[in-house]
């Protein structure tokens, strides 16, 4: 509990403890202390009301209520002493301490305990909300391989840590394993998933002698690689270092109550002191005990319990509402900062698009569309490349079974060649047709998407475009962001610039830039930050992690995103729907309104009752009402956000949003509808 009191929220830069290593007391100790305080407080109140004073004497009362006070008040007093030791004398812990000790001095033991108990419960609520959000995030993300299979000269294989492997060594990577070190491919060919490094959704086919980087995942056959750099010099290690350096640039957001207490606390203490001393010079019948009583009542009234409760409970409600909408905030400071976002920068692959390749357009001519598709599908069925799989999936309803055994050849870096009965079929990129001196339409070179050009019996027959499929709510996302007050929406991607420009234009983005490496993305974000009040970056790959850390608000797609991106992010979108970014902004703004409503309510009532207390009109009972009553109102108002419906304005689950989504779906189908062949 003392950690919560000291910081006001769980630090987002501190790795959360693993649940399986926590002791029972570490998990539930703070709750146990609050429960113990409540039980002792209730027992003291009951005994004071129903037991004779001769038996339940004042010393016994003081002892019992002191026991009730220590579990919740002790950490606060300790925090106040630590702050004083750092030179920060006037802080909220100090004011709460002297106010509650003052209540004890006046004999109002129950009120002193209750104030501390309410504050402790509010801190637990806030800490619980943040910890619940963090629990779904891995505490220590292992983006680097922890072991590697090294092939010795005698062909034996030794398993060791990558840091022990010297350049020039040969390592073996099985299908599904992550490459541990940068190197040069020794095997004839291999296919790797490079999305973690490049953000590119197309698996990369590598051939002997080509460079393979740490962090790539081997997709198919057993591969051997010659190591070319040390573990600490790998591209992956450098990216992770960039993440750490970028994370240090994040300024810590202090809670409002801590800033407010720096002014509020010394003013209240000064006024209470003046209330005791100044009347001596102006009042004829000055009685020290009477004015001391007024000053202590003044301090009890001024106890900022409602103010302290309004903020953590308000943000607790906001965090809870966000969680129900598939959004995890790693701290209340990020929830508050989200409302200021006026620029949203997004990655393409995995964020606005699904990262899954599908056939987008079929343009075939002069030979018969169905037969051409059958022949291409029959040829591509002999390849495991993702582009080939996209074509065979698209052509699942049409099949061609050759009479003779087909002769299939895969031409490195170009495509496929096959003899299917009397048909000689070529399918690949334009380099393939150039290799066989087959003329083709020059427009095929300008197609932004991945294009599979087709030739049959030595003649060009058209092309099939393959592209990453847009997410269903991508278009709605841009509209929702505009409605949420975002002024500029930008897309940065490592994909080909032609592809990025086409996607950006179809979505109506303000700016789209392609062909960027992680460093390039960081440079663009730094430029945009200078032009905005608050910038949010949304990504999903390891290559996005440095930019996520650099942004004012870093957001990661939690369902499909890389571990590094999720760990680095301030906000995690669990559903992988980009429209939830707009929802997060709406929740942030609603939370901010409720928090300030509570602050206004608490402060207004406090000022009124403080004035009454200073003139001796308000007694300790009014002080208790002002404190507990306002706190209760603040709690009820803070919980109101839990009943708000945030499915509008960016969410896709209401009927209206569903209709909009249906329109979007139709628009996507229209864009990807096949063009009939020109015969």
347, 473, 552, 627: the active-site residue: 347
Residues 192-216, buried b or exposed e (16+ Cβ, 10 A)? bbbbbbbbbbbbbbbeeeeebbbbb
Alpha-carbon distance of 332 to 330, in angstroms, equals: 7
Whole-angstrom CA distances from 340 to 110, 408, 512, 585, 600 are 42, 58, 22, 8, 21
Pair 489, 510: CB distance under 8 Å:
yes
Going 194 to 149 to 180 to 414, the CA torsion angle's sign is negative
Token representation of residue 456:
């049959």
DSSP-derived secondary structure for 100-151:
HHHHHHTT-HHHHHHHHHHHHHHHHHHHHHHHHHHHTS-SS---S-S-EEEE
Residues 6+ apart with CB under 8 A from 46: none
Token representation of residue 444:
């095929």
| Dihedral pair phi/psi, residue 423, rounded to 5° | -105, 125
- Alpha-carbon dihedral of residues 316, 322, 326, 329, nearest 10 degrees? -60
If one counts every other C-beta atom within 10 angstroms of the C-beta of residue 563, the result is 17
Token representation of residue 136:
């779904």
Our answer to whether residue 154 is catalytic in this structure is no
Pair 524, 513: CB distance under 8 Å:
yes
Identify any residues that bridge with 537 across adjacent strands, giving them in sequence order. Answer: 345, 554
Taking each helix axis as running N to C, give the angle between helix 109-135 and helix 58-85, from 0 to 180 degrees, rounded to the nearest 10: 50
- Alpha-carbon dihedral of residues 633, 638, 641, 642, nearest 10 degrees? -90
Catalytic site residues?
347
């Amino acid at each position: 509990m003392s950690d919560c009191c000291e910081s006001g929220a769980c630090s987002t830069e501190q790795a959360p403890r693993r649940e399986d290593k926590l002791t029972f007391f570490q998990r539930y100790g703070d709750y146990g202390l609050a429960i113990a305080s409540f039980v002792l407080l209730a027992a003291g109140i009951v005994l004071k009301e129903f037991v004779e004073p001769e038996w339940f004497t004042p010393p016994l009362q003081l002892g019992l209520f002191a026991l009730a006070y220590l579990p919740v008040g002790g950490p606060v007093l300790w925090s106040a002493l630590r702050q004083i030791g750092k030179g920060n004398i006037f802080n909220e812990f100090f004011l709460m301490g002297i106010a509650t000790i003052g209540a004890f001095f006046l004999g109002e033991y129950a009120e002193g305990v209750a104030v501390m108990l309410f504050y402790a419960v509010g801190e637990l609520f806030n800490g619980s909300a943040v910890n619940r959000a963090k629990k779904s995030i891995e505490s220590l993300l292992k983006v680097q391989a922890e072991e590697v299979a090294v092939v010795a000269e005698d062909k034996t294989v030794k398993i060791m840590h990558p840091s022990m492997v010297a350049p020039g060594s040969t390592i073996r990577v099985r299908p599904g394993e992550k490459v541990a070190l940068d190197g040069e491919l020794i095997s004839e060919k291999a296919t790797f998933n490079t999305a973690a490094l490049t953000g590119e959704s197309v698996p990369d086919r590598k051939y002997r002698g080509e460079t393979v980087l740490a962090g790539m995942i081997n997709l198919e056959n057993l591969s051997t690689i010659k190591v070319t750099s040390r573990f600490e010099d790998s591209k992956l290690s450098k990216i992770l270092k960039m993440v750490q350096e970028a994370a240090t640039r994040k300024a810590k957001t202090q809670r409002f109550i801590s800033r407010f207490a720096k002014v509020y606390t010394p003013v209240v203490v000064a006024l209470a002191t003046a209330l005791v001393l100044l009347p001596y010079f102006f009042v004829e019948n000055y009685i020290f005990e009477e004015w001391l009583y007024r000053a202590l009542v003044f301090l009890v009234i001024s106890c900022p319990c409602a103010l302290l409760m309004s903020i953590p409970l308000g943000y607790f409600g906001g965090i809870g509402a966000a969680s129900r909408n598939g959004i995890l905030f790693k701290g209340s400071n990020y929830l508050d900062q989200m409302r200021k976002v006026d620029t949203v920068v997004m990655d393409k692959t995995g964020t606005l698009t699904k990262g899954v390749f599908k056939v987008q357009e079929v343009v075939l001519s002069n030979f018969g569309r169905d037969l051409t598709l059958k022949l291409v599908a029959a040829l591509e069925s002999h390849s495991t490349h993702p582009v080939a799989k996209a074509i065979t999936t698209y052509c699942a309803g049409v099949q061609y079974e050759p009479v003779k055994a087909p002769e299939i050849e895969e031409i490195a870096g170009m495509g496929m060649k096959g003899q299917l009965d009397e048909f000689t079929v070529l399918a690949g990129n334009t380099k393939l047709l150039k290799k066989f001196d087959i003329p083709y339409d020059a427009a095929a070179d300008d197609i932004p998407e991945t294009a599979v050009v087709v030739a049959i019996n030595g003649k060009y027959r058209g092309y099939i475009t393959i592209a990453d499929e847009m997410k269903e709510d991508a278009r709605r996302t841009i509209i929702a962001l505009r409605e949420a007050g975002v002024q500029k929406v930008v897309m940065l991607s490592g994909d080909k610039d032609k592809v990025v420009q086409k996607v950006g234009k179809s979505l109506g983005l303000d700016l789209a830039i392609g062909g960027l490496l992680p460093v390039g993305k960081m440079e663009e974000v730094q430029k945009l930050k200078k032009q905005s009040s608050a910038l949010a970056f949304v990504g999903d790959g390891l290559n996005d992690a440095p930019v996520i850390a650099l942004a004012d608000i870093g957001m990661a797609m939690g369902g499909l995103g890389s571990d590094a991106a999720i760990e680095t992010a301030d906000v995690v979108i669990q559903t992988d729907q980009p429209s939830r970014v707009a929802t997060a902004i709406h929740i942030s703004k609603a939370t901010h309104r409720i928090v300030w409503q509570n602050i206004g309510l608490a402060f207004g009532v406090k000022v009124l009752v403080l004035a009454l207390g200073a003139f001796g009109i308000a007694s300790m009972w009014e002080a208790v009402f002002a404190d507990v009553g306002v706190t209760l109102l603040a709690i009820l108002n803070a919980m109101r956000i839990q009943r708000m419906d945030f499915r509008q304005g960016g969410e896709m689950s209401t009927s209206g949003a569903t209709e909009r989504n249906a329109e979007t779906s139709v628009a996507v189908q229209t864009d990807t509808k096949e063009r009939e062949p020109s015969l």
